[in-house]
């Protein structure tokens, strides 16, 4: 389950600030380990931490090791939920799994036409392919390249789209709008978060 952790400050702001560096080090350690996806202050005071897909024991350990929790600076309210939809690029697994990320880079002389053709192929996949988790289409600032950044449950289900004549026909149309295209499948090797 994904967990939204709502932190409520129990001490004055100067004490919260005095222990901010320790808390940030804790956040970064767990973000780099893939356990924390998002974190930040709430507009009304306190903070929010969104975890990766973690079991109850790991979330308890996470909370118990936060310096703010250990020092009685903040309390935690935990809201677990089953994540069924995620924006492409958001990896919710804390540990490496079978999921893959497709990065398909195409050069083009007509980026809008290439994006339109690629979007048509991706919409077909979104409607028909088991294991497809979503796609983000990117256009280069220079307008000479298009990237498909897509998330898949596993390599086998990605490769199965090549047996779908509807996809093949749409992908061939996309390929005709490019001057070249190359794709690779990737898995997360390491997570590195900002050190600030």
Q: pLDDT under 50 in the chain at which residues? A: none
Predicted local distance difference test score (pLDDT) of residue 178: 97
Q: Is 119 exposed, middle or buried (0-12, 13-18, 19+ CB in 10 A)?
A: middle
pLDDT for position 195: 73
pTM over 0.85: no
Query: 3-state SS string over 62-129?
Result: HHHHCHHHHCCCEEEEEEEECCCCCCCCCCCECCCCCCEEEEEEEECCCHHHHHHHHHHHHHHHHHHC
Q: 68-103 pLDDT, tens per residue?
A: 999 999 999 999 998 887 776 677 777 778 889 999
Q: What is the predicted pLDDT for the residue at 92?
A: 74
For residue 76, what pLDDT is reported? 96
Domains of the chain with bracketed CATH: 2-81 (3.30.70.1060), 100-186 (3.30.70.100)
Q: What CA–CA distance (Å, rounded) separates 15 from 187?
A: 41
| Residue 144 C-alpha from the chain's centroid | 26
Q: Provide the pLDDT for residue 26.
A: 96
pLDDT recorded at residue 196: 66
- How many Å apart are CA 196 and CA 152, to the nearest integer? 31
């Amino acid at each position: 389950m994904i967990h939204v952790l709502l932190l409520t400050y129990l001490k004055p702001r100067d004490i919260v600030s005095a222990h901010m560096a320790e808390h940030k080090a804790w956040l970064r350690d767990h973000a780099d380990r893939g356990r924390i996806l998002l974190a930040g202050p709430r507009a009304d005071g306190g903070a929010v931490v969104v975890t990766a897909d973690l079991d109850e024991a790991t979330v308890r350990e996470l909370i118990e090791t936060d310096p703010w929790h250990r020092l009685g600076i903040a309390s935690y309210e935990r809201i677990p939920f089953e994540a069924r939809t995620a924006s492409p690029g958001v990896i919710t697994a804390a540990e490496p799994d079978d999921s893959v990320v497709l990065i398909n880079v195409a050069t083009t002389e007509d980026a809008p036409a290439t994006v339109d053709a690629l979007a048509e192929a991706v919409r077909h996949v979104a409607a028909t392919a088991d294991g497809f988790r979503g796609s983000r289409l990117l256009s280069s600032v220079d307008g000479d390249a298009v990237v498909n950044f897509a998330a898949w449950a596993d390599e086998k289900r990605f490769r199965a789209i090549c047996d779908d004549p509807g996809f093949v026909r749409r992908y061939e149309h996309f390929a005709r709008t490019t001057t070249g295209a190359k794709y690779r499948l990737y898995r997360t090797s390491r997570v590195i978060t900002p050190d600030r």
